[in-house]
Amino acid sequence: MTILVGSDTLVICQGMTGRTATYHTERMLAYGTPLVAGVTPGKGGRRHLDLPVFDTVAEAVATTGANTSIIFVPPARAADAIIEAADANIALAVCVTERVPILDMVRVKRRLESGGMRLVGPNSQGILAPGVLQLGVMTTVNARKGDIGIVSRSASLTSEVVAQVTEAGLGQSTTVGVGGDPVHGLSLAECVTLFLNDPDTKGIILIGEIGGSEEEKVAELLGELNPAKPIIGFIAGRHAPLERRMGHAGALITPTLGAAEPKIAALEVAGVRIAKQAHLIGETMRRALMDQRT
């Protein structure tokens, strides 16, 4: 069993005819992702990668029955694309676009408060359910079907952790990149909750980083639930300087918020086993599962 996606997922790609979207759409199709159409305003009626192209999401949904969208739309128009998907009754949207203006995302969040669509991203590497589908830009080379759920704010580190989990003989149920921007959709805590409720996910790996307070919110959740599933955590950016953006907008320590050590401390109090170094994450998960069985 996977989270967020499954056998009933039908995908459209907003912005599919662009160069970057074309490249990644080809990769997703090759992996077996059920992409049924693209959406590019002004190019409706054409075919691209042997898929129909529509002018609007509503037309694509009405024709194909799609319920999921992967969004490759430039930053200035990404918020409108997300809202268009929500208005067309898309159930899940994954936005990989980076540098979407924060005030635009505030507008998106207000729209999503009315319900109807779950958003992953923006600045997300996507969702990968090994053997089921790839929805986004993350590598699939080392992914193997298994029972470890991975949720991450860090794109590059996610690929390394997937490889470690596979090498440890565990594999992944689903890997989710929630996005590195300060204002985004699905939170770390919401994703952890989905994994906790998934009977086929036996352990969870949480890859956090400096900036914001999402990891602390996960700690609060786990403190309330006291789950039996082992959870491994890693926080990137322990030696990052104060008030200097590291990589993207969300990775920023302020004088009062976002440092790595308080995040680590909160997670440890909540029962999360912290991997001391990045290369130990997979092995720490393996040992946690062994300890649970003894």
Residues classed as catalytic? 248
| Structure tokens belonging to residue 278 | 């990045």
Kind and range of the H or E element at 191?
helix 188-196
Q: Within 10 Å of residue 100's Cβ, how many Cβ atoms? A: 28
| Structure tokens belonging to residue 206 | 């949480």
Distance between CA atoms of 86 and 232, rounded to whole angstroms? 33
Q: How far is CA 26 from CA 14, 68, 149, 290, in A?
A: 14, 17, 26, 39
Distance between CA atoms of 293 and 261, rounded to whole angstroms? 30
What residues have CB less than 8 Å from 251, skipping those under 6 apart? 180, 209, 210, 211, 237, 240, 245
Instruction: Please answer whether residues 41 and 65 qualify as being in contact, where contact means their C-beta atoms are separated by less than 8 angstroms.
Output: no
Distance between CA atoms of 71 and 135, rounded to whole angstroms? 10
Pairs from 250-257 (Cβ < 8 Å, separation ≥ 24)? 250/123, 250/153, 250/179, 250/180, 250/181, 250/182, 250/184, 250/209, 250/211, 250/212, 251/180, 251/209, 251/210, 251/211, 252/182, 252/210, 252/211, 253/210, 253/211, 257/212, 257/213
Distance between CA atoms of 181 and 278, rounded to whole angstroms? 22
Distance between CA atoms of 126 and 80, rounded to whole angstroms? 19
| Structure tokens belonging to residue 242 | 């104060």
